[in-house]
Chain A
Amino acid sequence: MKRRGELSFEGILGVAFISLILATAIAVAQFYKARNPSDPENHDITASYNVILTTLREDAQIAAVAEVASDSFTLYNSQSDVISRYAFIGGNLHRFDKSEKGEILLKGVESVFFKTGDELPNLLTVKIMPIDRMDIPFFTSFALRGINHDLN
């Protein structure tokens, strides 16, 4: 005699199987979400910073001089030819190559600070403050190796 409210063995098994299927579906959905960089919730500023780091490192390998202004700097090689120009325009960080073809490296920038030292004119320090205060600032330096290739 089955008591009121009592589940059959098949019912319990069914609930267990459905729970397993649901758990798997949630796990796979979360995995997909974590792996999908286009999802705005997974916005990671370090991906954009990696692009800036890589681009600036490549330019610094051949740059000999950096001409710094308040919101921009231009890199020149040892023959005083322009390599690239980086500029903070309208809340975005742009890079312009020698033919002035521009690309946006980072959006949502609050302020930038570029500096070369008096003692070390061949060291370019870059600071980028994002608008979103939850994001980390970008702060590092780049040695301009264009004068002395032995440094590479």
Chain B
Amino acid sequence: MRDIIVCMKMSLKNRPARSHPRSGTSLMELLLALAVLSAAMYPVVFIFRIGNPPKQTNHQEYTATLLAHHVIETIVARRAVNPSYLPAMSEPEPVVESAEHVEPVSQYFRNISANNDSITETNDSQLFWTLKPFKCQIDTYYLDGNLFKAIVYITYQREGRTMKVFFERLLPQKALDVNGEGEE
């Protein structure tokens, strides 16, 4: 029994002495904790960003939206004056008059200046350069139930790609009788 106690005392004496934790180790642990916490903020911020869609800050896209709104509202106003009016299909056409454009100005943008002309570089320089990149195209479809669908595309180039903003509207159309005349 005595031998055992002596051996235990010996083994305790022979145990390597624990070094005191250095201040460097504590600092490292603190930095590690901060780094892990910082990294953990990335997914939190990312989820927050996904949850809040970014504002519409693309000015070209916003201008295209305003132009598509202008075309749809013009169609609505024309139908108020003439209920049988249906918009015609068109290829992409410029919205301002320029020597560079071989196509005619879209009919929805022909009388929009102060003197009832198209926008040109001379009559409205700032608006001309803002609207010059945009083109207007109309697609139309006849649908069942005497419905007519008009889709307005405003296209523009962005980083080499053609971007499109489109509005569509369903319009009730008059049924055509055998004489080709419209009736409600």
Contact = CB atoms under 8 A, between A and B. Distances in A.
B23 to A, nearest CB: 11
A63 to B, nearest CB: 12
A136 B63 contact: yes
Interface in B72-113: 73-74, 76-81, 111-112
A17 B32 contact: yes
Given A10-B28, A142-B73, A143-B74, A137 B80 contact: no
Tier of interface size on chain B: 35 or more
Nearest to A46: B62
A80 interface: no
B67 A139 contact: yes
Interface in A59-77: none
Contacts of A120: 74, 77-78, 81
Interface stretch (A81-89, A91-99, A101-109, A123-131): A123-131
Given A120-B77, A151-B76, A18 B66 contact: no
Contact of B70 (A119, A125, A137): A125
Interface residues of A, number: 47
B25 to A, nearest CB: 8
B35 interface: yes
Contacts of A127: 127
Given A10-B28, A46-B59, A49-B62, 13 more contacts: A10-B25, A17-B28, A17-B35, A21-B35, A46-B55, A46-B62, A115-B112, A127-B127, A137-B126, A139-B127, A139-B130, A145-B76, A145-B80
Interface of A: 10, 13-14, 16-18, 20-21, 23-25, 27-28, 31, 34-35, 37, 44, 46-47, 49, 53, 113, 115, 117-120, 122-123, 125, 127, 129, 133, 136-145, 147-148, 151
14 contacts: A10-B24, A13-B31, A13-B32, A18-B31, A31-B48, A53-B69, A113-B114, A127-B127, A133-B126, A136-B59, A140-B69, A140-B70, A141-B69, A151-B76
Interface of B: 24-25, 27-28, 31-32, 34-35, 38-39, 41-42, 45, 48-49, 52, 54-57, 59, 62-63, 66-67, 69-70, 73-74, 76-81, 111-112, 114, 116, 126-127, 130-131
